[in-house]
Structure 1
Amino acid sequence: MTATLEQREPTPTISVSARAPRSAHDRSAGRRPGMRILVTGILVVVAVYFLVPVYWVVVAATKTTQDLFATNGFWFAGDFALWHNLTEVLTYDGGIFLRWFLNSVIYAGVGALLATYFAAAGGYALAKYEFRGRGFVFGLVLGGVLVPGTATALPLFLLFSDLGLANTYWAVLLPSLVSPFGLFLCRIYADATVDGALLEAARLDGAGELRIFHTVGLRILTPALVTVFLFQLVGIWNNYFLPLVMLSDDRLYPITLGLNTWRSQTDRLPEFYELTTGGVLLSVIPLAIAMIVLQRFWRGGLTEGAVK
């Protein structure tokens, strides 16, 4: 027998680097230059959209009425009148602006705090308790999210008029205690984060349902509560139509309605431009402070659970 030698093709070699799996921390695939430029450009446009009005308010608050119309709207004038304008805002008509500011703090602060608590309690109950009609109640909440506040202002006015509550603090405060979106958010968040085993362990230790909610549920729901509080705070602070319908006494006005009253007088009294721009600048400061103070809780809630 004659042995035949088979010629074999050389086996291709694969480098170790080619076979090695991509590191879990390697993000080079998501760092394409084109995508980074696109995302950065979108973020810049969004930032400009939100920051330019704030910048204009700051610049306008430093000008007199004459400079407001005679100079570039996006740059400061030679006469820096910020402190004069703010002084006029705080002292005009016996300090009525301070009264409006205090009213807004009451409406927005108390309303947002209580609305957040009620939303947390309702969302926690819908997520963690089985009872008849739970799905129907949650459907009503979803329906409430879709109803704009302007559609309910007139019915609320007629109701509060019959109860004798129109043109009072309660006429603005009571509707602010209801937040369908907040209840919806708390229900979803509680269902995803509050472990039923943890609640059973608390019950075995002898804790009541209210104590479990306040000591366990609220702590776990903190990121969602901060989100609801911020949304409700901004919504009530900027609310204009409901106070316009409910209130006739200018001593009860929130800051939005009061500033609009000043703005409506600018046609015959141009000096009200200085009052309006200075008042607008002061009105955005509390919201900015609230966002800066609470953003760490908000950011932590948005990223919680993303990495285990």
Structure 2
Amino acid sequence: MSIQTAPKPASAPETAERGTALAAPQQRPRTPRQFTSKAVVHGILIVFALYTLMPLTWLLVAATKNYRDLFATNPFALGDFNLWHNLTELFAHNDGIYLRWMGNSLLYTVVGSLLSTLISVACGYAFDKYHFRGKEKLFGLVLVGVLIPATVTQLPLYLLASEAGLVNTYWAVLIPSLVNPFGVYLARVFSEGYVPGEVLEAARVDGAGELRTFASVSLPMLAPGFMTIFLFSFTSVWNNFYGALMMLNDEQLYPVNLGLYAWQKSVYQQPELYPLVIVGSLVAVLPLIVAFLCLQRFWRSGLTAGAVK
């Protein structure tokens, strides 16, 4: 009769080592093809980064030069650091007309973008949450508006503004900026991803009207989407050069980009304007940078709306 003995239990260190060996994933050595692909991707990203940053770098360097150094030195070589002098000349030239242009741009952009974003969010919310006859056909018409370039509509807008007596006024630039078909499209996407129908039904059961539900319940939920659309609209209105060129003749009403264009046309007769155009362009870029940096967390969260269902 044979006697079978029980196997000796493994000690705790041996069990831990065996579990670690089983749990640790086997790392495959990277092949040369993987290293090559990664290097190519990084190289492409570096080229695009340089392509994007080079004009801004040149603008920052050129803003430190006077008229002579702009043409006598290397484009990316610092001058005698006349940035403060150039800024002083910029803000003092022609009784401070540049500050007036900046104020006009801020008025057109902030007021126009806020109203445009609010209208777009309300329209997108309505297209998403309400059912009415011809909704999809009307939304298709909005999408057609996305495909039409803004420059194509400037002449009809000018004729309408002329008939209404709005040419060469603030309203001629503000009113067209309120229409944003792409913002309506984005707002509908954000509404589908951020505002559950159950929450709206609960608000209606509690006795809230439609306007109260939108203002108190839906709009706070759409805050990331609101800021994303606002940034798109802010950038579009700030860079709206052709619309202002068509509508305005009085330089007191110019936005900053149209004012710099007027100076640029005069540099051959007034060479001293050349440094002012450059430093003015640098100052004109700063509001866009500040707006993006302050609202980038909303930008990132808003761009992921609808990505995960």
Q: Distance in 1 between matches of 2:24 and 2:180?
A: 49
Q: Distance in 2 between matches of 1:126 and 1:35?
A: 44
Map of 1:294 onto structure 2: 295
Letter in 2 for 1:45: V
Report how far residue 178 of structure 1 moved: 0.8
Matches within 5 A, 1:1-308: 32-77=34-79, 79-303=80-304
Distance change >3 Å, CA 193–CA 22, structure 1 → 2: farther
CA offset digits 1:98-137 (Å, max 9, x no partner): 0000000000111111110000000000000000010111
| Matched length | 289
Map of 1:6 onto structure 2: none
Q: Distance in 1 between matches of 2:50 and 2:20?
A: 44
Q: Distance in 1 between matches of 2:224 and 2:123?
A: 16
Q: Distance in 2 between matches of 1:123 and 1:202?
A: 19
Q: Distance in 2 between matches of 1:301 and 1:230?
A: 11
Gaps of 5+ in 2: 1-17
CA offset digits 1:204-253 (Å, max 9, x no partner): 11111111111221122222211111111111111111111100101000
Q: Distance in 2 between matches of 1:21 and 1:203?
A: 54
2:120 match: secondary structure: helix
Report how far residue 280 of structure 1 moved: 0.4
* Structure-2-length-normalised TM-score: 0.87
CA offset digits 1:69-96 (Å, max 9, x no partner): 110111202x111111111110100000
Distance change >3 Å, CA 305–CA 158, structure 1 → 2: closer
Q: Distance in 1 between matches of 2:306 and 2:178?
A: 30
Distance change >3 Å, CA 22–CA 156, structure 1 → 2: farther
CA contact (8 A) 2:189 2:306 kept: no
Q: Distance in 1 between matches of 2:48 and 2:141?
A: 34
CA contact (8 A) 2:168 2:248 kept: yes
Distance change >3 Å, CA 201–CA 34, structure 1 → 2: farther
Map of 1:8 onto structure 2: none
Letter in 1 for 2:269: R
Identity of aligned residues (%): 52
